[in-house]
Amino acid sequence: MDYAIAQGINFFDTSEMYAVPPKPQTQGATETIIGNWFKARKNRDKVILATKVAGRSPMTWLRDNGAGTEQSKAQIEEAVNKSLKRLQTDYIDLYQLHWPDRPINLFGGLGYKHVEGAAHPISEILETLDGIVKSGKIRHFGLSNETPWGTMKFLHYAETKGLPRVQSIQNAYNLVNRTFELGGSEIAHRDGVGLLAYSPLAQGYLTGKYQNGALPQGSRKQLFNRLQRYESPQTNRAIEAYLAIARKHGLDASQMANQFVTTRPFVTSNI
């Protein structure tokens, strides 16, 4: 973090459930590390701080009542207060809904099945966030892993009910996952909900380090075996083609992949 600040980086993004993979023993550790750093460096005002509240999940260790997570008023307020304590700050610049409370296709999943009533209404969630903004605990709010439909609903209720306006959306975006371009990019331009792009290297696959079955010691795939979403035959062919382009033009594959993301006009920040 010291090095990041020295290089001009001033936006830090975390979440209440980090570190990943999520488990009770490490939950909140990332926020705690950042909070200790703030306390030691006394530089909270130098950083735009973003964190997230979990959507609906069976993670029972995040809440005091031992239930799974959901975006109810009580749970969001509890999550904000706990994040503030771990981060050792009295405000969060950008508070994000980590994934929607309603069932959707997350993280590349297909086969959508609608489940009526299995979520808190978006208007209710927005009213909760409005109260927290007014309390001064958060300054702005954003979305993450959200759909175009969900984004527009948040914008609609903000406009019609005088509630806080969504400022950003944090979705995966890279050379082999350009889903955001189908609907999100137009919203980013027309409604000013800029993309905070995560996974610009496709979880490391666009670096080439996993090609031909390679499994580097200490890599996330070797440690956690969680990266299968980028292992389809068509994705592998696309990665091979991009790596060939990088070699042809004498480019570092990682830098090429990052520059593709950073130079898109709808991207606010590449994280």
- Yes or no: say if 1 and 31 are a contact pair by the CB < 8 Å rule: no
How far is the C-alpha of 263 from the C-alpha of 256, rounded, in Å?
11
**Both tokens assigned to 242:** 């991009």
How far is the C-alpha of 154 from the C-alpha of 151, rounded, in Å?
5
Q: Which 8-state DSSP code applies to residue 243?
A: H
Helix axis angle for 73-87 and 122-135, nearest 10°, is: 40
**Both tokens assigned to 151:** 């984004």
- Yes or no: say if 149 and 103 are a contact pair by the CB < 8 Å rule: no
How far is the C-alpha of 225 from the C-alpha of 247, rounded, in Å?
28
Residue 162 region by backbone torsions, left for phi larger than 0, else alpha for psi between -120 and 50, else beta: left
How far is the C-alpha of 197 from the C-alpha of 271, rounded, in Å?
6
Catalytic machinery residues: 18
Find all residues with CB under 8 Å of 259, minimum gap 6, and list them: none
